[in-house]
Protein backbone atom coordinates (compact mmCIF):
# COMPACT_ATOMS: atom_id res chain seq x y z
CA UNK A 1 0.00 0.00 0.00
CA UNK A 2 1.10 3.46 -0.83
CA UNK A 3 0.93 5.97 2.03
CA UNK A 4 -1.33 8.88 1.22
CA UNK A 5 0.36 12.23 1.13
CA UNK A 6 -1.41 15.08 2.83
CA UNK A 7 -1.43 18.29 0.83
CA UNK A 8 0.47 21.15 2.38
CA UNK A 9 -2.08 23.68 3.60
CA UNK A 10 -0.74 27.19 3.79
CA UNK A 11 -3.26 29.54 5.38
CA UNK A 12 -4.19 32.53 3.34
CA UNK A 13 -4.65 36.05 4.62
CA UNK A 14 -8.38 36.57 5.13
CA UNK A 15 -10.26 39.86 5.16
CA UNK A 16 -10.23 39.94 8.97
CA UNK A 17 -6.47 39.37 9.03
CA UNK A 18 -5.93 41.99 6.34
CA UNK A 19 -7.78 44.60 8.39
CA UNK A 20 -5.76 43.63 11.45
CA UNK A 21 -2.50 44.11 9.54
CA UNK A 22 -3.74 47.44 8.12
CA UNK A 23 -4.73 48.65 11.59
CA UNK A 24 -1.36 47.67 13.04
CA UNK A 25 0.45 49.45 10.20
CA UNK A 26 -1.54 52.63 10.80
CA UNK A 27 -1.12 52.42 14.55
CA UNK A 28 2.58 51.47 14.52
CA UNK A 29 3.60 53.57 11.53
CA UNK A 30 1.72 56.83 12.05
CA UNK A 31 -0.19 57.22 15.30
CA UNK A 32 2.22 55.93 17.96
CA UNK A 33 5.35 57.50 16.37
CA UNK A 34 3.48 60.82 16.20
CA UNK A 35 2.62 60.53 19.90
CA UNK A 36 6.27 59.76 20.62
CA UNK A 37 7.30 62.97 18.82
CA UNK A 38 5.22 64.83 21.39
CA UNK A 39 7.41 63.23 24.06
CA UNK A 40 10.59 64.33 22.27
CA UNK A 41 11.51 61.13 20.43
CA UNK A 42 12.21 61.52 16.71
CA UNK A 43 9.64 60.27 14.21
CA UNK A 44 12.10 57.97 12.42
CA UNK A 45 13.20 56.47 15.72
CA UNK A 46 9.60 55.87 16.74
CA UNK A 47 8.81 54.23 13.43
CA UNK A 48 11.96 52.11 13.59
CA UNK A 49 11.05 50.82 17.04
CA UNK A 50 7.25 50.50 16.95
CA UNK A 51 6.34 49.56 13.36
CA UNK A 52 8.26 46.25 13.10
CA UNK A 53 6.93 45.08 16.47
CA UNK A 54 3.32 45.87 15.61
CA UNK A 55 3.59 44.37 12.12
CA UNK A 56 5.26 41.18 13.40
CA UNK A 57 2.66 40.77 16.13
CA UNK A 58 -0.27 41.28 13.77
CA UNK A 59 1.12 38.80 11.22
CA UNK A 60 1.89 36.12 13.79
CA UNK A 61 -1.39 36.70 15.66
CA UNK A 62 -3.43 36.46 12.49
CA UNK A 63 -1.65 33.25 11.50
CA UNK A 64 -1.87 31.45 14.85
CA UNK A 65 -5.21 32.75 16.13
CA UNK A 66 -7.38 33.79 13.19
CA UNK A 67 -6.33 31.51 10.34
CA UNK A 68 -5.22 28.22 11.93
CA UNK A 69 -6.77 28.39 15.44
CA UNK A 70 -3.59 26.97 16.99
CA UNK A 71 -3.45 29.63 19.67
CA UNK A 72 -0.57 30.44 21.98
CA UNK A 73 2.25 27.93 21.73
CA UNK A 74 6.03 27.76 21.54
CA UNK A 75 5.95 28.28 17.77
CA UNK A 76 3.97 31.50 18.30
CA UNK A 77 6.77 32.95 20.44
CA UNK A 78 9.50 31.75 18.06
CA UNK A 79 7.71 33.19 15.03
CA UNK A 80 7.11 36.49 16.84
CA UNK A 81 10.76 36.83 17.85
CA UNK A 82 12.10 35.88 14.41
CA UNK A 83 9.68 38.20 12.59
CA UNK A 84 10.41 41.08 14.97
CA UNK A 85 14.19 40.72 14.65
CA UNK A 86 14.02 40.48 10.85
CA UNK A 87 11.72 43.49 10.54
CA UNK A 88 13.78 45.52 13.02
CA UNK A 89 16.93 44.87 10.99
CA UNK A 90 15.16 45.88 7.78
CA UNK A 91 13.78 49.05 9.36
CA UNK A 92 17.24 49.96 10.66
CA UNK A 93 18.79 49.56 7.22
CA UNK A 94 15.98 51.43 5.49
CA UNK A 95 15.51 54.30 7.93
CA UNK A 96 18.81 54.85 9.72
CA UNK A 97 21.19 53.95 6.90
CA UNK A 98 19.08 56.04 4.54
CA UNK A 99 18.09 53.60 1.82
CA UNK A 100 14.51 54.88 1.74
CA UNK A 101 14.19 58.21 3.54
Cβ atoms of 90 and 52 closer than 8 Å: yes
pLDDT at 101 over 60: no
pTM score: 0.78
- Identify the sign of the CA torsion 82, 75, 26, 43: negative
Res 68: pLDDT: 81
Q: For residue 43, what are the contacts with CB-CB under 8 A and spacing of at least 6?
A: 33, 34, 36, 37
Rounded to whole angstroms, the Cα distance separating 96 from 25 reads 19
- Average pLDDT of the chain, as a whole number: 84
Radius of gyration of the chain (CA): 17
Residue range 25-61, pLDDT digits in tens = 999 989 999 999 999 988 888 888 899 999 999 999 9
Is the predicted pLDDT of residue 71 greater than 90, yes or no? no
- Tell me if 76 sits within 8 A of 70, measured CB to CB: yes
Amino acid sequence: MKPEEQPLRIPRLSIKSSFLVLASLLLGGIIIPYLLTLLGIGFKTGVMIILPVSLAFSLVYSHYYLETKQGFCKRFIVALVVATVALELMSYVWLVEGFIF
